[in-house]
Amino acid sequence: MADTVVYRRRTVVSALMMVFALGLGCAGYLLVGLNQNGALPADWVTALAAWVVLGGVAWGVVRWRLPYADPLLLPLVFLLNGLGLSMIYRLDQADRLASANLQMMWLGASVVVFCGVVVLLRDHRVLQRYTYLWFLAGFLLLLTPLVPGLGKESHGARIWIRLGSFSFQPAEIAKIVLSIAFASYLVEKRDVLATAGRRFLGIDFPRARDLGPIGVVWVFSLIILVFEKDLGTTLLFFGLFVAMLYVATERPSWAILGVVMVGALGVVGYSMFDHVQTRFSSWLNPFTDYDKNLQVISAQFGFAWGGLFGTGWGLGRPYLTPLSKNDFIGAALGEELGLFGLCAVVMLFGIIVARVLRAALGSNEPFGKLLATGLAFAFALQVFVITGGITRLLPLTGLTTPFVSQGGSSLISNYIMLALMLAITHQVRRPQAEAPAGEFASLSAEATQAIPAIRAAAPEPRADTPRPDPAAFGATQPVGMDDPTVPHPIASPDPRSREEDLT
């Protein structure tokens, strides 16, 4: 019998990590006031009380509803969120704005939505039922900014909608919806998409008839690029589908085709839009045009000023970099925390991705595997692209840093993704004896494996083995042996009966 991994709840570990994360957020907030003004912030009691209450409520709901969820995910997220809030408040001191207060309000809304998803979503597998509804909802969300009078263009891209005095980015919610749709679709169609076609250079490429799904997603990504002029969202969604397709089929040819098609999207964007050309020129040689490339140039000077260990929290000048609360908040962290501090922040994201991928590997059902992989890849791709953009490893794409950058729609969507990841890790780590009775309770571990187990065939009897003669024991033909309606006492059951049990 195979060994069974038994996970413990780790409540104490999770509580200690949560206290550390909340404490670090409080320390960052207080240090800004001390280093900037020589005194504690005027509203420090109210701000820190709200911060601790929100963190405590989120932690309590998770331990109540998902006691076996990964104990590190929520503390790591609040650690990143605390750093982001402290940096936004630090930048408020320069431009005399109250962006941190607004971001705290968005955090409150995000925690409410997060707790709602944790409480209501008892089993993530129920999401698999509505594949094409998820696709329809995701595509409609992506196209919403094109509605006249509702969409709003900002920095060359039309990806926002205005709701009263607030602006919202529907692509952030579409990221979650399409992750669910991709996972559900690939669970159903993976056997067909994994069929090998022609072999070239030692790689089995897919058949031409199987290129339909990736072609449809590519065309839709091209529509987003042409009409909404947003290269970052386009690359995120198409890259997400290609990554999940590769994981589902284990065919490297899909990844190769995806890279080629991503390159084609980049060529189309560069040839059609001036702001994409500006981003490429600022990536290759930003100092040729100081006015157009001010963001990238200021970020490079900030990194140089910060060095390895940074100027100190609240002691630098990150406000000189435009959009330092949004796209370039990583440059602000790099200036005041140094290269080591920025690497530590990236490592926190790496730990989150690694923990979710570990849960995906441990899941015994394919939908959970693919959904966890897709959510982890979305985080990893977003962090890699934005960090590469501010450090000039990659061209800028307009994506934000999850949980750190200012923005309400991004924060809410990231907390929904966190709730889904916690639900999946809870299902993976929970003892089988505590599985809830219901629609999925009859599914055995074998029935929900991504790759069905291969049963060893019973060995054939040796030719020289003597067979006993029934007449020697006075036995006669058993009653009903010739009657097909009477089952033989040792006959194997009809294999169809097992298939019916598993449906």
Write down the pLDDT at residue 370: 92
**Domain with 317 in it:** 128-434
Backbone angles phi, psi at 239, to 5 degrees: -65, -35
What pLDDT band is residue 15 in, cutting at 50, 70 and 90?
very high
Residue 500 has pLDDT above 80, yes or no: no
Per-residue pLDDT, averaged over 322-339, amounts to 90
* DSSP labels, 129-194: G-HHHHHHHHHHHHHGGGSTTTEEEETTEEEEEEETTEEE-HHHHHHHHHHHHHHHHHHHHHHHHT
Tell me the residue ranges of DSSP E strands in 354-473: none
Average pLDDT over residues 165-186: 88
Mean pLDDT for 356-360 is 93
Whole-angstrom Cα distance, residue 351 to residue 363?
18
DSSP designation for 471: G
Tell me if 287 is assigned to some domain. Answer: yes
In a domain, 333, yes or no: yes
Residue 89 lies in a domain: no
Query: Nearest Cα to 263, choosing from 285, 281, 239, 243?
Result: 239
Asked whether residue 494 is domain-assigned, the answer is: no
Please report whether residue 12 resides in a domain: no
Nearest Cα to Cα of residue 300 among 285, 314, 280: 285
Calpha distance 18→260 (Å, rounded): 43
* Residue 16 resides in a domain: no
pLDDT in tens, 46-56: 999 999 999 99
Residue 455 DSSP symbol: P
Mean pLDDT across 313-334 = 88
pLDDT of residue 123: 83
Q: Has residue 315 been placed in a domain?
A: yes
Q: How much is the mean pLDDT over the chain?
A: 80
Q: How confident is the model at residue 447 (pLDDT cuts 50, 70, 90)?
A: very low
Overall domain count for the chain: 1
pLDDT tens digits for 155-167? Answer: 667 777 887 777 8
More confident residue, 305 or 215: 305
Whether pLDDT at 493 is above 60: no
Per residue in 33-90, pLDDT tens? Answer: 888 888 888 888 999 999 999 999 999 999 999 999 999 999 999 999 999 999 999 8
- Does residue 191 have a pLDDT over 80? no
**pLDDT at residue 216, rounded to an integer:** 83
Residue 206 has pLDDT above 80, yes or no: no
Q: Are 468 and 475 in contact (CB under 8 A)?
A: no
Residue at token pair 């069974």: 4
Predicted confidence at residue 234, as pLDDT, reads 83
- What is the 8-class DSSP label of residue 414? H
Per-residue tokens: 251: 């065919």
- Residue 72's φ and ψ, nearest 5 degrees, are -100, -20
Q: Specify the range with the lowest mean pLDDT, choosing from 16-30, 278-292, 359-373.
A: 278-292
pTM for the structure as a whole: 0.82
Residue 486 lies in a domain: no
What was the pLDDT predicted at 10?
A: 82
pLDDT tens digits, residue range 99-126? 888 899 999 999 999 999 999 987 888 8
Dmax over CA atoms of the chain, in Å, equals: 105
Neighbours of 151 (CB within 10 A): 18
Q: Is 409 helix (H, G, I), strand (E, B) or coil?
A: helix
Q: With helix as H, strand as E and coil as C, how does 275-320 read?
A: HHHHHHHHHHCHHHCCCCCHHHHHHHHHHHHHCCCCCCCCCCCHHH
